[in-house]
Amino acid sequence: MAAHSLSPSLYRLLFAVKYASLHSRCCAVHKKAQYSTIYNPSEKTFEKILIANRGEIACRVIKTCKKMGIKTVAVHSDVDSSAVHAKMADEAVCVGPAPTSKSYLNMDAIMDAIRTTGAQAVHPGYGFLSENKEFAKRLVSYPVMIKASAGGGGKGMRIAWNDEETREGFRFSSQEAASSFGDDRLLIEKYIDNPRHIEIQVLADKHGNALWLNERECSIQRRNQKVVEEAPSTFLDSVTRQAMGEQAVQLAKAVQYSSAGTVEFLVDSKKNFYFLEMNTRLQVEHPITECITGLDLVEQMIRVAKGYRLQHKQEDIPINGWAIESRVYAEDPYKSFGLPSIGRLSQYHEPLNLSNVRVDSGIQEGSDISIYYDPMISKLVTYGATRSEALARMEDALDNYVIRGVTHNIPLLREIITHPRFISGDISTNFLPEVYPDGFKGHQLEADTRRELLASAAALYITAQLRSQRFLGELSPVECNHWELCVELGEQRHVLEITKSGNVYTVEVDGGEVEVSGQWDLASPLLPLTINSTHKMLQCLSRDASGNIVLQYLGTSFQVRVLSKLAAELNSYMPEKVPEDTSSILRSPMPGTMVAVSVKPGDTVAEGQEICVIEAMKMQNSLTAVKQAKVKSVHCKPGDTVGEGDLLVELE
């Protein structure tokens, strides 16, 4: 039937094999006096099938489809518009005039009929196009997924939408696969657009016993690598959950698997699920399953390896509460949702002071994040009796997580878990490109949150100024409690009037009033404040004597400049810095190793043409020209190690 009903490992089989097999089974049943097959109405198949044939075989297929509750589409020539098969079907589409070459063999017309009717599968019957290889290729068409057969973690994986992208994807995927796994073999599968990625945790022993430990929702991904996971899924009902679990256990038993493993599925909007792959190992996201089941999966793996039987039965496996995992990476989320960042963790504090927070990490303050290994810093897990409780704890945990020395993806993680679509469960593997079509830009301030940020920055600035004056003995006998300041945020300048009473600052800004209070420990990276009676956790990333302050607020870093009224007036006379013309230079967007340099001085490159390839953390990235130009100079060669921002190529 349709390619998307098959396991990914079978997608590479030719259409002719699949359709011939189906055709032979149907004919064998047809020759019997009575049908021996039993239709199970609980089995999910297709909603609509197009029959690319006519006459008795078309009628034959339509009969079975009706019995199975499947809608049908008939195709016909203009002289067949009143034929029996055209009337039997739920829909009928004319595909051309009487000659078969212009109708029943007209692939373009039949493909149009498939698209316009929304048919999910095609039954070719016999004759006509049933064994046509070209028709087969058009029905197992783009997009396709190219992936490393020994792969994982999104490495060695590319989506191709045409022949050119297939060739490029093959090159990069095979090189990444060899670099990451020592095996450059690839699989090519049909790519299902806009699905959910839901997986089932299984546990099996060497005595024929196997359990499914519920599901994990893993649809939030970038570059085919998971970013946020949760257990259970908001999407599955108990019937679908059980069906997926039972099939996962059947697979484990069929291959006599023993240990913890994960069976991954793609799930469409109708809760139809399709086998993706089985990972015969411990998954990165296993902690969220441990949270909701109470089982230690590593302990279970060790017991099974020693030969012990499983201690539990299927009815013993609960879903207790909700768990969410955020993968904290040393990555820049503003560059393709996360290009690697390297450096030393100059300051590092995990939010373990909060309840029901788990941090799985292998680093500490002073650890180095290098270009040679995966840039994961930790897995941040929160648990709650309900999903909303787990999400609230994740929000607090991200706000309290202190990471200095490398760029990290906490801004993206916090935006994901607070986004209305995520909160409502309206997600798919395309969540990030759909929500951020122009790339991630950080938290977008509204009028009220902008006032809160400006007021907090001003209060912090005044607190630091007063402390310095006390230290230097410059305070007058009567301490000033009223100030007028200007705060620059982006291209905008805001005038603030501030009044101080004890530890409370009242700030008038942009037509509103904000009250800010706190302990104001300037030595701590965390800045717990009460803003308009609501507790907020900010972080002071940096500040200097010139009034430049970088605050992490709502997960995102904002740079502000606080000036006195006089300084702001004088600053307006300063010449503006001319920005660098980046169209004629190519800088490295990340630290890494040069894999290939495709140009030399004197070459003419077209817009979009590949100039070089850089590898970072086993992932290869093609850098292209932003305009047509002649290459002036090349400052790198294959094998060079480059840093973020290093000049690679100059154009004239």
Residue 599: predicted pLDDT: 94
Task: Identify whether the C-beta of residue 107 lies closer than 8 Å to the C-beta of residue 138.
Answer: yes
Q: What is the pLDDT of residue 7?
A: 32
Mean pLDDT, range 206-230, rounded to an integer: 95
Quick check: helix, strand or coil at residue 593? strand
Query: Is residue 615 within a helix (H) or strand (E), and if so which, with residue range?
Result: strand 610-616
CA dihedral of 40, 41, 43, 47, whole degrees rounded to 10: 130
**For residue 43, is pLDDT > 80?**
no
Question: What pLDDT score was predicted for residue 19?
Answer: 30
The mean pLDDT value for 102-123 works out to 91
CA pair distance 337, 207, nearest whole angstrom: 45
| pLDDT score of 635 more than 90 | yes
pLDDT band at 453 (very low <50, low <70, confident <90, very high): very high
| Predicted confidence (pLDDT) at residue 288 exceeds the cutoff of 80 | yes
Look at 209 and 179; give whichever has higher pLDDT. Answer: 209
Residues annotated as part of the active site: 281
Q: Which pLDDT score is estimated for 338?
A: 83
Give per-residue burial for 383-396: e unless 16+ CB within 10 Å, then b.
bbeebeebbebbbb
Residue 283 has pLDDT above 60, yes or no: yes
pLDDT digits over 552-578, tens only? 999 999 999 999 888 888 887 888 777
Main-chain dihedrals φ then ψ at residue 66, nearest 5 degrees:
-65, -40
**If you ran DSSP here, which 8-state letter would residue 607 be given?**
T
Residue 63 has pLDDT above 70, yes or no: yes
Phi, psi of 239 (to 5 degrees): -70, -50
Which range, of 216-220, 269-273, 395-399, 636-640, averages the lowest pLDDT?
269-273
Q: How far is CA 298 from CA 61, 138, 287, in A?
A: 50, 46, 10
For residue 33, pLDDT over 50 is answered with no
pTM over the 0.75 mark: no
Which amino acid makes up residue 21?
S
Task: Specify the 3-state DSSP secondary structure of 209.
Answer: coil
Average pLDDT over residues 364-388: 93
pLDDT tens across 227-265, in order? 999 999 999 999 999 999 999 999 999 999 999 999 999
44: pLDDT strictly greater than 60 = no
CA diameter of the chain: 109
Domains and CATH numbers, the chain: 48-139 (3.40.50.20), 144-190 (no CATH), 196-435 (3.30.470.20), 447-467+480-572 (3.30.700.30), 585-651 (2.40.50.100)
Q: Is 336 left (phi over 0), alpha (psi -120 to 50) or beta?
A: left
116's tokens: 């316009």
Mean local confidence (pLDDT), 299-306: 95
| Rounded Cα distance, 480 and 594, in Å | 58
* Residue 536: pLDDT band with limits 50, 70, 90: very high
Least reliable range by pLDDT among 33-47, 72-86, 392-406, 456-470: 33-47
Predicted confidence band of residue 581 (pLDDT cuts 50, 70, 90) = confident
pLDDT bracket for residue 540 (50, 70, 90): very high
Please, how many CA atoms are within 13 Å of residue 596, restricted to the half-sphere of its CB?
Answer: 14
- What percent of the chain is helix, strand and coil (3-state, nearest 5)? 30, 30, 40
User: What pLDDT does residue 12 have?
Assistant: 30
**pLDDT, position 363:** 93
- The average pLDDT across 430-449 equals 95
Is the alpha carbon torsion for 190, 191, 194, 197 positive or negative?
positive
Kindly report the average pLDDT of the chain as a whole number. Answer: 88
| Percent of the residues in the chain that have a pLDDT greater than 90, as a whole number | 65
Please check whether residue 393 is in contact with residue 382, taking contact to mean a CB–CB distance below 8 angstroms: yes
CA distance 321 to 283: 20
Given a cut of 50, whether residue 312 has pLDDT beyond it is: yes
Q: What pLDDT does 26 receive?
A: 29
pLDDT at 193: 67
Given a cut of 60, is residue 225 above it in pLDDT?
yes
Supply the pLDDT for residue 20: 28
- Residue 5, pLDDT above cutoff 70: no
Give Cβ neighbours of residue 577 (< 8 Å, ≥ 6 apart).
none
Q: Could you tell me which residue, 66 or 188, shows the higher pLDDT?
A: 66
Q: What is the pLDDT of residues 137-150, one digit of tens each?
A: 777 867 788 888 77
Task: Supply the pLDDT for residue 456.
Answer: 97
Please check the confidence at residue 27 and state whether its pLDDT lies above 80.
no
Of residues 599 and 276, the one with the higher pLDDT is 599
Are the CB atoms for 170 and 203 separated by under 8 Å?
A: no
pLDDT value of residue 36: 35
Mean predicted confidence (pLDDT) in 369-397: 94
